[in-house]
């Protein structure tokens, strides 16, 4: 397929470079339908010529790219958004706005091509031509690096002070957020076993008698793939037993 693209950047040289890179993209191909230097021009162009994807800078005169992306989400058929910026620190906000990707300047052809391939897959899914849904992820920012961790890899989530420990088979991550919000957002994937812990339902292995120095005598959950046991509160015990019995 050929994706229709709108380039939004207040710098003419930056727009020209993206146009050149898009001309070199092959799978999928990209057709530039227009260019805009600010939010007002962008909205006007999209009213006349709907596109599949907007390549969007963040720092622009007037409304910035983050504000513009929020506006685009309210459109009846919003285009996919890929941020293209020299500033890496806005990545978390960008993904909260459901951006497909976040590219830092200078953009490499390979990374731009990967972004277009993601959009192609999403477009086919939305048209019912593919049955696979895009995989849900947690966006984690750690030590100046932003990483998308697939939800299917997460074994448990545990609140520690002001942060959440995200445990996968490979490593621990630190996520800034609320465990209650995650429980509400992903009720089919995770279940509450304690006031400070959610576990992946698919990872539940066994319920065992356990003594915890802080909690005392009680029950703990053994999960597939990790050695540690997670204490189960009395309040959540019946629900955990039901999941294991099922």
CATH number for the region 2-126 comes to: 3.40.50.2300
Mean pLDDT of 13-29: 92
Q: Which residue reads 């939010």 in tokens?
A: 39
Mean pLDDT of 47-75: 94
Query: pLDDT-based confidence at 35, cuts 50/70/90?
Result: very high
Predicted confidence (pLDDT) per residue in 148-163, tens digit: 888 889 999 999 888 9
User: 99 Cβ partners below 8 Å, 6+ apart?
Assistant: 69, 81, 82, 83
pLDDT for 131 beyond 70: no
* Cα separation, 178 vs 134, whole angstroms: 24
pLDDT for 32 beyond 90: yes
Among 4-8, 145-149, 186-190, whose mean pLDDT is lowest? 145-149
* Cα separation, 99 vs 69, whole angstroms: 8
Which one of 2.60.120.890, 2.40.50.1020, 1.10.10.10, 2.60.40.10 gives the CATH number of domain 137-245?
A: 2.40.50.1020
Query: pLDDT-based confidence at 246, cuts 50/70/90?
Result: low
pLDDT for 132 beyond 80: no
- State residue 202's pLDDT score: 86
Q: For the chain, give every domain's residue range.
A: 2-126, 137-245
Predicted confidence (pLDDT) per residue in 2-17, tens digit: 999 999 999 999 999 9
């Amino acid at each position: 397929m050929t994706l229709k693209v709108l380039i939004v950047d207040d710098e003419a040289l930056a727009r020209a470079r993206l146009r050149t890179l898009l001309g070199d993209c092959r799978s999928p191909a990209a057709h530039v339908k227009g260019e805009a230097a600010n939010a007002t021009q962008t909205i006007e162009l999209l009213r006349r010529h709907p596109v599949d994807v907007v390549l969007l800078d963040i720092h622009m005169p007037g409304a910035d790219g983050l504000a513009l992306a929020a506006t685009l989400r309210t459109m009846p058929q919003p285009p996919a958004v890929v941020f293209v910026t020299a500033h890496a620190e806005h990545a978390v906000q960008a993904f909260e706005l459901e951006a497909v990707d976040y590219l830092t300047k200078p953009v490499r052809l390979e990374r731009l091509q990967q972004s277009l391939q993601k959009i192609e897959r999403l477009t086919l899914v939305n048209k019912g031509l593919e049955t696979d849904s895009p995989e849900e992820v947690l966006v984690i920012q750690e030590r100046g690096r932003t990483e998308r961790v697939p939800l299917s890899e997460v074994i448990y989530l545990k609140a520690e002070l002001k942060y959440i420990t995200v445990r996968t088979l490979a490593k621990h991550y630190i996520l800034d957020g609320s465990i209650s919000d995650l429980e509400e957002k992903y009720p089919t994937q995770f279940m509450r076993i304690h006031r400070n812990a959610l576990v992946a339902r698919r990872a539940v292995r066994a319920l065992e008698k356990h003594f915890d120095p802080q909690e005392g005598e009680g029950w703990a959950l053994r999960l597939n793939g990790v050695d540690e046991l997670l204490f189960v509160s009395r309040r959540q015990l019946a629900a955990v037993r039901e999941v294991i019995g099922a």
